[in-house]
Amino acid sequence: MKIVVCVSHVPDTATKINVGSDGKTIDQNGVTYVVNPYDEFAIEEALKTKEKSGGEVVIVSVGTDKNKDTIRKALAMGADSAVLLKDENYRDSFAVAKALAEEIKAQDARIIFFGKQSVDYDNSITGQMTAEMLGYNCVTVVVRLEIDGDKVTAEREIEGGKEVVETSLPVVITAQKGLNEPRYASLKGIMQAKKKKIEEKDAAAADNNLEIVKMFKPAPKAPGKIVGEDVSAVPELVRLLREEAKVI
């Protein structure tokens, strides 16, 4: 049985973001890319699922040759093989999901892991879209997962608590922090990853239906007021919150 993990290649969260010269995307200068943090939870859960029930973990990523760095890291954690679905052009989530859905079908995978969100566009939609295109079940923002035969029980985070969702295979799970502790790649894993094959093919054709008109930086906030440097500032702070900000 194949277990697919979809991983995206994103700027490190500590990166300073500047708008590029096209006015629509970020300036790539000095930007370092990493495995999307939530996808690490997805990879870990896939490896655990394999350890428990057997199978083969396949990494799938849509993008350019640059995604190979991220794919190698996933392989170093212990995934068995990888597929890079190539497209040099920008794809919106709908188009990414189309490519992923085609590949998942071809792999005949019945358990598919995503991260809950890519920390670039912060969409949180690709997993659900892919599941819907495949007609598979889907549970998002999962912090606990149990798969028993065809039966799936997953806990997802909601406002003020958690929902326990029951569903069945085939299923798409989007991983939230808390689901597990992602393992570090061992030296052996890193060495082996170099030898593992990354299959490359063109991503299935798809149209974007989201067009970026422009990208811009948020207006800088007016400098705030330092109300004081000891307890004597407290009454003034309370007054400001009440009379100026009117929030209490």
Partner 1 sequence: MGKVLVFVEQRNNVVKKASYEAVTAAKKFGEVEAVCTGANVEGLDALAGYGATKVTHLKSADFENYTPSGYAKAFADYAKDSGAEVVLFSNTAMGKDLAPRVAVKLNAGLAVDVVSFNGDGVEATAVRPVYAGKALVEVKVNSAVKVYTLRPNTFAAETDGSKGDVNVVEVSDVDLGSKVVEIKKSEGKLDVAEADVIVSGGRGLKGPEHFNLVEALADSLGAAVGASRAVVDAGWRPHSEQVGQTGKTVSPSLYVAVGISGAIQHLAGMRSSKYIVAINKDKDAPIFQVADYGIVADAFEILPELTNEIKKIKAE
Ligand X SMILES: Nc1ncnc2c1ncn2[C@@H]1O[C@H](COP(=O)(O)O)[C@@H](O)[C@H]1O
Q: Interface residues with ligand FAD (CB under 6 A)?
A: 13-14, 37
Q: Which does 186 bind (CB under 5 to 8 A by kind): ligand X, ligand FAD, partner 1, none?
A: none
CB of 62 to ligand X, least distance (A): 4
CB of 160 to ligand X, least distance (A): 23
CB of 66 to ligand FAD, least distance (A): 19
Number of residues that bind ligand X (CB under 6 A): 24
Burial 27-43 (b: 16+ CB within 10 A, else e): eeeeeebbbbbbbbbbb
Smaller CB separation from ligand X, 124 or 192: 124
CB of 197 to partner 1, least distance (A): 32
C-alpha Rg value of the chain to the nearest Å: 21
Tell me how far CA of residue 27 lies from CA of 69, 81, 98, 186, in angstroms: 20, 32, 27, 33
What would the x/- binding string for ligand X be over residues 19 to 58, using CB under 6 A?
-----------------x-xx--x----------------
In terms of Cβ atoms closer than 10 Å to its own Cβ (0-12, 13-18, 19+), residue 118 is buried
Cβ atoms of 147 and 113 within 8 Å: the answer is no
Does position 107 bind ligand X by CB under 6 A?
A: no
Alpha-carbon distance of 130 to 107, in angstroms, equals: 14
Query: Is the alpha carbon torsion for 19, 21, 23, 26 positive or negative?
Result: negative
Smaller CB separation from ligand X, 137 or 227: 137
Alpha-carbon distance of 192 to 77, in angstroms, equals: 10
Q: Which does 118 bind (CB under 5 to 8 A by kind): ligand FAD, partner 1, ligand X, none?
A: ligand X
Interface residue list for ligand X (CB under 6 A): 6-8, 36, 38-39, 42, 60-63, 93, 96, 100, 114-115, 117-118, 121, 123-127
